[in-house]
Amino acid sequence: MARLTVLEPEAMYPDTSLEQEVFGPEVEILHGGAPHTESLDMLPDEVCARVDGLLIFRHWLKPHHIARFPRLKAVVRMGVGYDRLDRAACAARGIKVCNVPDYGTMEVADHAIALTLALRRGIALHHDLQRADPPAAWRYVDSPLIRRLEVQGFGIVGLGRIGTAVALRAKALGFKVRFFDPHLPNGVDRALGIGRARTLEELLAGADVLSIHVPDTRTTRGLIGAAQLALLPKGAVVINTARGTSLDIEALEAALRSGQLAGAGLDVIPVEPPVEPVPNLLAAYRRREPWLTGRLIVTPHSAFHTPEAWADIRRKSAETMRDVLLHGHSHNEIPPHSD
């Protein structure tokens, strides 16, 4: 069997020792050539001609890129989302596309809960008020944000790995947890000891906290818009640590301004990184407009980030690529039209 070649173009890690350990001597590893700030277009033709497996983190993989890799057999997205990969073009060439769905489950779940508590316990609110000039009086502030956890419904849209981890954390804190996910079989709710909503509308009506955990697909884009936000109980909080495309950010701004929503925590926005003109809500947040004091927390798609998660990305990506290229397995394979 001819030696296989795997390319990790971004040089995300300082060396390839771990990957070589995972792959063994049967695989040659190429490292670098297209930093994340660039594109795969900058790779030399002679490098592309040798590649059997491609590890992708930040790059887009479009049909003209795929055409440059005549030997390509497998692409592994070093993360959960796969919207940057043209899966149809890969399928036309018989190229398997896989992802790494379990590298940051704990981190993202923790982040969703942290955003929830920072808002619902008034931590962000009092923090903002106490560092104001002049600072607010040394006392608590009454706000629609602040409520006892056990009286609140916690609604989860999408009960995959991360959604499940969030459900267990929210349940442990005393929230009344329910989820909506039409793709799961009966009995999941009973196994976890949480409630299930049969429709999205049913979930929204009882969600004092709404936490979104869906991928970016044709069916999830714009899933939560003005009509859906209006169904939430007045004073609800919305958390999104999944993909920014699932939540209409203009509708979110309107719901916050009207008081329909008490607050929101966002780790994702529709276009990342944000480009000018940025969404009105983000612009108001950056200007520290008084109406948003303590009501909005934005983090830069960092929910997954820990040293441990980065180590998982590295090892699990290499293991997935090894299993596909060397053993013919289909672990974590993404069908060309799974959405």
Ranges of the chain whose pLDDT falls below 70: 1-2, 337-339
Q: What is the dihedral of CA 106, 111, 117, 122, to 10 degrees?
A: 160
DSSP 295: T
Identify the pLDDT of residue 259: 97
pLDDT tens string 314-326: 999 999 999 999 9
| pLDDT tens digits along 48-57 | 999 999 999 9
Q: Which of 268, 275, 271 is nearest to 297 (CA)?
A: 268
Return the pLDDT at 337.
67
> What is the pTM (predicted TM-score) of this model?
0.90
Distances, alpha carbon 241 to alpha carbons 28, 259, 324, in Å: 36, 22, 30
Give pLDDT, residue 339: 55
Instruction: Give the angle 302-307-309 at the CA atoms, nearest 5°.
Output: 70
Among all residues, which ones are annotated catalytic? 243, 272, 301
Q: Pick from 257, 256, 258, 276: which is nearest to 266 by CA?
A: 256
Alpha-carbon distance 268 to 180, whole Å? 21
